[in-house]
Amino acid sequence: MKALALKLLGGIVLMCIFFLLLLWTTADNHLLGYPQPQSPGQPPTNLGKQVYDAKCAVCHGKEGKGDGPATAALDPKPRDFTLGKYKYRSTESGSIPTDDDLLKSIRKGLHGTAMIDWESNIGGDSLRAILDFVKLFSPRFKSEKPKPVQVGLVVPISNATIDAGRKVYDRLQCSKCHGHDGKGTGAEVTTFMDDWGFETHSTNLTEPWTFRGGSSIRDIYLRFRTGMDGTPMPSYVGAASDRDLWSVAQYVASIARKPAWSMNEQELRAHYGQLDQEAKSDPVRRGRYLVSVLGCTDCHTPLNPTGNPLEGMQLAGGQRWEVYPFATFYTANLTSDPETGLGSRTDQQIKDALTKGIKSDGSRMLPFPMPWPSMAGLKEDDLNAIIAHLRSLPPVYNKVPELEKPNVFSYLWGKFQMLILKKPMPAYIRSGNHGAPKERSLSQAVTSGKEKRP
């Protein structure tokens, strides 16, 4: 009798613990949402703030820092408004943009980026209010006046002006970054860091539909006449006569290739054949493209608390993924460092990791977060291109910790919640570099704010 009562009591206590745990984990999930940033200073009108919070904050962030919850997956990243630096202007290099410049970006959008044309969504008063609100994020708009460029006389376009433009293009050395053919061929360098800390590439000038600031001759003229602040794209003010600068814009417009969607079958085949050829002759470039579209950079570069890449740590690994209840993963260092990166791995070892999920220590990776099953179908040429690009990365010493598996109890408890209680099992990414650069030992790994990947 006594034994039975004890068993019952034990049972009740266990039930209570179980319930408390359940409550705790559910509550925990609520607490782990995004931190709510504070709203910026005095809004001029509530309307501007309302529309901004509803339409723009998801990318540009509540405080205009370009760190909204949707940023992780975007390339290019949304603008950080607090610096007051703008790319698409009709004003001199270093000047703030005019209201019309900002309105143009907002109304027409920036082609080929996540910044859509808001014209059909936001009109009239709201548009004006939102413009005023965006300007509040930087003190520059209070203390400075925009300096519009003098556009000069527009030269009528002709074969002669286009020919002249080609020569000026060479003389001004646009080819150093855009290549002699506008496609990057023969360029000295095509990959850069912008002032916000993101990688950027010189635009392929034969694909005007990718020009974010627009593809009219006037748009092209303004881009290099005023420069794109915050990027390596310089301003050519005073570098040549206005007439010559207009002819360069006409030349650039003239080298546009036919877009794929208006090619016939024969042209398409020739086009992709040529792309294949180019990939073979320049694997590093092809590899850079693949590494960017396959998301390697997003996972293998550690992040700061606002979700932006840590400076100087491009692809150096050390991002921490807590995938409950499976394991805590640390992304690998993919730079060419021989000790902590891929420098001393053979091509075959890297291919085995990418296509078979086999790590260089022989252990197998789970099919997540490292998405190797989706890479298993990569063509040999593409694998070689990825490796060629990774080998071209400067070595960064960053010793990444081993993966941590949970103990059996928490693993089973996690599985139970997933399968029986049907709770979603979230993955968390912790900001900071969890690897050990030279000056730090692994035991001092960073543990800063918990973030949830959308």
- Quick one: which segment of 33-41, 209-217, 405-413, 427-435 binds ligand HEC (CB under 6 A)? 209-217
- Quick one: which segment of 257-265, 272-280, 359-367, 424-432 binds ligand HEC (CB under 6 A)? 359-367
Task: With CA atoms as reference, report the closest residue to 206 among 165, 256, 279.
Answer: 256
Distance from C-alpha of 335 to C-alpha of 344, rounded to nearest angstrom: 11
Are 169 and 248 spatial neighbours (Cβ–Cβ below 8 Å)? yes
Is 202 an interacting residue with respect to ligand HEC (CB under 6 A)?
A: yes
Min. distance of Cβ 32 from ligand HEC in angstroms?
A: 19
- Which residues make Cβ contacts (< 8 Å) with residue 343, sequence separation at least 6? 335, 336, 337, 395
Write b or e for each residue in 187-200: b if 16 or more Cβ atoms lie within 10 A of its Cβ, otherwise e: beebbeebebebbb
How many alpha carbons fall within 13 Å on the CB side of residue 407?
Answer: 1
Distance from C-alpha of 147 to C-alpha of 167, rounded to nearest angstrom: 29
Distance from C-alpha of 198 to C-alpha of 202, rounded to nearest angstrom: 13
Min. distance of Cβ 134 from ligand HEC in angstroms?
A: 5
Is 385 an interacting residue with respect to ligand HEC (CB under 6 A)?
A: no
Is 371 an interacting residue with respect to ligand HEC (CB under 6 A)?
A: yes
Among 63, 194, 337, 451, binds ligand HEC (CB under 6 A): 194
Paired with 452 in beta bridges are: 428
13 burial type by CB count under 10 A (0-12 exposed, 13-18 middle, 19+ buried): exposed
Secondary structure element (H or E) that encloses residue 2, with its range: helix 2-31
Is 96 an interacting residue with respect to ligand HEC (CB under 6 A)?
A: no
Task: With CA atoms as reference, report the closest residue to 192 among 236, 226, 231.
Answer: 231
Q: Which is nearer to ligand HEC, 310 or 332 (CB)?
A: 332
Is 315 an interacting residue with respect to ligand HEC (CB under 6 A)?
A: no
Per DSSP, which regions of 146-220 are E strands?
191-193, 199-201
Per-residue x/- mask for ligand HEC, residues 8 to 47, rule CB under 6 A? ----------------------------------------
Among 62, 63, 84, 86, binds ligand HEC (CB under 6 A): 86
Is 164 an interacting residue with respect to ligand HEC (CB under 6 A)?
A: no
207 burial type by CB count under 10 A (0-12 exposed, 13-18 middle, 19+ buried): middle
Per-residue x/- mask for ligand HEC, residues 275 to 314, rule CB under 6 A? ----------------x--xxx--xx--------------
Subset of 108-137 contacting ligand HEC (CB under 6 A): 110, 113-115, 118, 122, 130, 134
Is 218 an interacting residue with respect to ligand HEC (CB under 6 A)?
A: no
Is 326 an interacting residue with respect to ligand HEC (CB under 6 A)?
A: no
Which residue reads 């990776």 in tokens?
365
Q: Which is nearer to ligand HEC, 25 or 255 (CB)?
A: 255
**What is the size of the binding site for ligand HEC (CB under 6 A)?**
73
Q: Which is nearer to ligand HEC, 25 or 162 (CB)?
A: 162
- Quick one: angle between helices 380-391 and 283-293, nearest 10? 90
Among 45, 53, 58, 218, binds ligand HEC (CB under 6 A): 58
Is 354 an interacting residue with respect to ligand HEC (CB under 6 A)?
A: yes
Q: Which is nearer to ligand HEC, 22 or 54 (CB)?
A: 54
Min. distance of Cβ 24 from ligand HEC in angstroms?
A: 27
Min. distance of Cβ 77 from ligand HEC in angstroms?
A: 6
- Quick one: which segment of 9-17, 101-109, 142-150, 306-314 binds ligand HEC (CB under 6 A)? 101-109
Q: Which is nearer to ligand HEC, 273 or 454 (CB)?
A: 454
Distance from C-alpha of 328 to C-alpha of 372, rounded to nearest angstrom: 17
Q: Which is nearer to ligand HEC, 149 or 233 (CB)?
A: 233
Distance from C-alpha of 371 to C-alpha of 348, rounded to nearest angstrom: 18
